[in-house]
Structure 1
Amino acid sequence: MSTFVVVGGDAAGMSAASKAKRDDPDLDVVVFERGQWVSYGACGLPYYVKGEIQSLEDLVSVTPEEFREERDIDLRIGHDVTEIDPDGRTVTAQGDDGEVEQEYDHLLVATGAEAVTPPIEGLDREGVYTLGSMSDGKDLREYVARARDEGNLQQPDRGLACQFLETCTGPVGIVGGGYIGIEMAEALAANGFEVHLFQRGDRVLTQFSRATSEAVLDHLETQDVAVYLDSEVRELAGDGSVEAVVTPDDRVPVEMVLVGTGVRPRTALAEAAGIELGETGAIATDAYRETTVQDVYAAGDCAEAEHVVTGAPAYVPLALTANRHGRAVGQTVTGSPTEGGGVAGTAAVKAFDVEAARTGVLPEEARRAGFDPLTDTIEAKSRAGYYPEGGTVQVTLTVDRPTGRVLGGSLVSEYGEGAVHRSHALVGAVTEGVTVDELANYDLAYAPPFNTTWDPVLTAAKVVDGQR
């Protein structure tokens, strides 16, 4: 019997294991997961900390028991794979029952990513947290609960940030203005904390257009989140426990700090086995997710993929990519070679009462890739002007000036006014290499409760096309 071994039990790993077992029920599928959780939605952790999701178990898609009993997958949690031997075609894992050696015919490395550890003094102090795992989420939720029990928090009337910072207690710091930082600012402010967010660059959400970043920043400030731009954190000061965030210009008293400065691929196991990394620092693969070692694949947050616009390797650690690529590996190892597909860098974020989305490449990256980018930002109504509800949508569109090819876009709107769903039209355009005049003629749906006759995406395409 052929054996498919998977290292890592989250999105990519369990998607691959499940698909392989469905396509070939006789295949022996073994999954090693060093933690106690599998197949969980880490993207939901900020909303668990906030209190909108009541239980960690709610974030689990399929339980270990279901994988074992209903899908016939040999899932071994609490087993840390310590070595891959490509010559002997074995993996060695350490568990509570001692060391285990497992042979494989095909192997998937799905070791995920880990939180970046910035060069900040005091990261080991009590009260300093990250949010990269279910246990991290549990710890943060317990911190919020303790703060409530100790009576340190005054609950705001609107369930969001305190109306005036001086009326709040329980100041907390967030280091990093990316996805986690923004989402956790909302989660902590919703629980009555006085939130201070520190960003080393000159804007938050640097993956988005500057116009989108500025719109989100403006909204954060209306929610009484104190944002410190161009503020590189030097130290998390304190005597045992963290007491202050120290930058070259400020010393801000805090009672807790969340460090959310990004993630990096977890590649040590692969490197030790002689598997090559790509130029992004993640594991290099071909279109079928096979690495430089025969019959060894890599997928998810530890691996790179090809960008659909630039054609170059890209590192985009997001859930859909992990699921797609894992599923493709499951098909490939059972005899149906399947490409995982490229990535467009599509992402979305909610910040209190606004939503933002992005896809493709923006001007700086476009120039590095050899394009001549033309970009503009428009703002339009989200629904028909006579409709009694609605807001605005801001669209930043980037195209290649000589060819008109749509390269990327960034959108922001009030929450529920469609920035994220409108971005899907741009994803299609970016992925298929559509020109801006073709995009302007997309037959998008129209009805007064949903948009204007000329959707904001179409309006942006017409404006940018007129400037070529």
Structure 2
Amino acid sequence: MTDPFVVIGGDAAGLSAASKLKRERPDRDVIVFEKGTWVSYAQCGMPYYVKGEVDSLRDLLSLTPEAVADRGIDLRRRHEVVGVNVADRTVTVEGESGRFERPYGDLLVATGAHAVADPIAGSDLTGAFTIHSMDAAAALRAFLTPPSESDGGGDGDGGDGGDDGGRTAIPDVEYVDAERVERYAAMEPPTSAAIVGGGYVGVEMAEALSAHDLDVHLFQRPDRLLPEFGDAVGETVAATLADHDVDVRTGTEVERLAGTDRVEAVVTADERVPVDLALIGIGVRPNAGIVDGTPIERGASGAIATDEYGRTTADRVFAAGDCAEMRHAVTGEPDWVPLGLTANRAGRAIGNTVAGTPTPVGEIAGTAAVKAFEQECGRTGIIDHGRAREAGFDPVSETVTAGSRSGYYPGAAETTVTLTADRETGRLLGGSIVGTDRAAIRIDTLATALESDLTVPELERLDLAYAPPFSPVWDPVLVAAKVLNGRLPDAE
């Protein structure tokens, strides 16, 4: 093999690219190096597996290693790429049988991101978790499952029961970290938990841990939850969590986790809160260190710089997914927003480009959704005025609350929409939505408007569907656009 397509990383971006190229060019050799054992899994589904809404760990697998092999892709698990030589077009790999070099014709760096835990002392204690791997999710669910609730299969996978009254350990996925799972399954289930961080993971895991009847304390250093979603969403989510007996502490920094061998407490500047489980969800960082010392440049975010086709600053080297930057749809500048669709879409486009059909990876707007008990939250674009000003805009925002359906139709609920626009041009810059009745999916209308560079008056004139079971005559998005339009200089 002198011209293989080599992929570093076997998850969303990497396998999307490998699959697309193999489909378009079945004659081309494709090698995927994955340093771990898991490939192509739904990381965003982990909180719902921990909660118990997803029965089996196997349900989170998009592709098994066997399915990858059936596509003609040479998947090498437990093979870590430790060096890239762009002059010789080779990668250095450490595998189970030793270190070796592999030439490439085209290379994709799709190494993802890793959870941040290092600022929190004590994050290595037993009972401290970051939910950024399938093994962590499996171990946490085993830890949470009391013997009386186990059916001998743990997560519904039919694993073996132990000598602890039937409480299981190992899900029926042969490459799960069985030792870690069994260790936590053998412990007494926790009764209280601390969540450090009030972003996506923190909010979702507050719901998941509450479902196991734990006393849940959530600590957030900023003054509100979900900062990128804006004030209205953050305040609504905080109130909802409190209504579900989650102890929400905003403006509170965790200094360390205390304990000898196991987590015993969370320590802040003002107090020590006893807990026997801690989950750290303070963010992620790109796994981009593999390109250090090469001509491949990193962007301001620390992720790998790429162009509109996912190409890096080195010839025939691409990057995609959580380790790579992309162009922001609002600012037009490089940005880093690690999300699942972004990774899959960019990987597929790169596979097509390598196959001979240049395909843009697309832009990003940071469109995202999160569930907090009954509340559905969505966001897209730029809402924060400080960030908007940094990008050269003069931001103006409005927040409105309107019904999700016609008022006389059963099931109508309040839906709160925040829109931000540029005062001079009227261009829509971003928005957020929160509510209990199909609120999050409405964010797609705003994402489409952003991608189309619509102004607020143009958004207000969109011909959105109306029928009492689905929307009032004026959809909440249109109501918000109408109100914001009234604040613009040339309001109609």
TM-score, normalization: structure 2?
0.89
Please state how far the C-alpha of 1:146 moved relative to its aligned partner.
4.9
Question: Is the Cα contact below 8 Å between 1:376 and 1:464 reproduced in 2?
Answer: yes
In structure 2, how many angstroms separate the alpha carbons of the residues matched to 1:373 and 1:289? Answer: 31
Q: Give the conservation status (yes or no) of the 8 Å contact 2:190–2:276.
A: no
Partner in structure 2 of residue 195 of structure 1: 216
Corresponding residue for residue 129 of structure 2? 129
For residue 446 of structure 1, what is the amino acid of its counterpart? Y
Q: What is residue 367 of structure 1 aligned with on the other side?
A: 389
Deviations 1:264-316 (A, max 9, x none): 00011111434210011110011111111111100000001110101111110
Does structure 1 retain, via aligned residues, the 8 Å contact 2:190–2:277? no
Q: CA deviation at 1:169?
A: 7.6
Q: What residue is the counterpart of 2:404 in the other structure?
A: 382
Q: Which residue of 2 aligns with 1:448?
A: 468
Q: What secondary structure does 2:301 align onto?
A: coil
Instruction: Show the counterpart of 2:156.
Output: none
Shift of 1:209: 1.1
Aligned pair count? 449
The question of 1:88 aligning with 2:110 is answered: no
Secondary structure, counterpart of 1:54 in structure 2: coil
Contact 2:195 2:206 in 1 (8 A): yes
Alpha-carbon distance, 1:212 to partner = 1.1
Q: CA deviation at 1:359?
A: 0.2
Q: CA deviation at 1:148?
A: 6.5
1:176–1:9: structure 2 CA closer, same or farther, 3 Å change rule? same
Aligned position for 1:157: none
Whether contact under 8 Å (1:32, 1:79) holds in the other structure is yes
Q: Is the 8 A contact 1:169 1:194 kept in 2?
A: no
Shift of 1:94: 1.4
Q: Please name the residue that 1:158 is paired with.
A: none
Secondary structure of 1:207's counterpart equals: helix
Deviation per residue, 1:345-373 (Å, 9 max, x gap): 10000001101000010122111111011
Alignment counterpart, residue 453 of structure 2, candidates 426, 433, 436: 433
Q: Which amino acid in the other structure matches residue 66 of structure 1? A: A
- Counterpart CA distance in 2 for 1:296 and 1:29 is 14
- Look up the equivalent residue of 1:445 and give its one-letter code: A
| Residue deviations 1:390-449 (CA, integer Å, cap 9, x gap) | 2111000111111110100010001xx122111111011111110101100100011111
1:330 counterpart residue number:
351
SS in structure 2 at match of 1:349: strand
What residue in structure 2 maps to residue 165 of structure 1?
none
**1:309 and 2:330 correspond:** yes
Contact 2:232 2:418 in 1 (8 A): yes
Q: Deviations over 1:163-204 (max 9, x none)?
A: xxxxx9811000000000000000000111110000011000
Question: Helix, strand or coil for the counterpart of 1:309?
Answer: coil
The Cα RMSD (Å) is 1.5
Is the 1:243–1:253 Cα contact (8 Å) retained in structure 2?
yes
Deviation larger for 15-24 or 89-98: 89-98
Match of 2:160 in 1: none
Task: Give the equivalent residue in structure 1 for 2:139.
Answer: 139
C-alpha deviation, 1:100, in angstroms: 3.1
2:13 is aligned with 1:12: yes
Residue type of the partner of 1:24? R
| Contact map agreement 2:143 2:190 (CA 8 A) in 1 | no
Report deviation, 1:118.
Answer: 4.1
Identity of aligned residues (%): 55
TM-score (norm 1): 0.94
Provide the C-alpha distance between the structure 2 equivalents of 1:100 and 1:63, rounded to a whole number of angstroms. Answer: 26
Structure 1 position 117, deviation (Å): 2.4
Q: Which runs of 5+ in 1 are unaligned?
A: 152-167
Partner of 2:172: none
Q: Deviations over 1:219-250 (max 9, x none)?
A: 11101000111111111011211111010112
User: Which residue type is aligned with residue 12 of structure 1?
Assistant: A
- Contact kept in structure 1, 2:127 and 2:263, CA below 8 Å: yes
- 1:104 aligns to 2:125 (yes or no): no
Aligned partners of 2:428, 2:310: CA distance in 1, in Å? 27
Unaligned runs of 5+ in 2: 150-163, 166-188
Q: How far, CA to CA, are the matches of 2:124 and 2:115 in structure 1?
A: 14
Conservation of the 8 A alpha-carbon contact between 1:83 and 1:273: no
Give 2:155's aligned residue.
none
SS across alignment from 1:15:
helix
1:154 paired residue number: none
Output the CA distance in 1 between the equivalents of 2:33 and 2:460: 49
Q: Report the secondary structure of 1:76's partner residue.
A: strand
Amino acid at match of 1:182: V
Contact 2:206-2:216 at 8 Å conserved across structures: yes
Equivalent residue for 1:60? 61
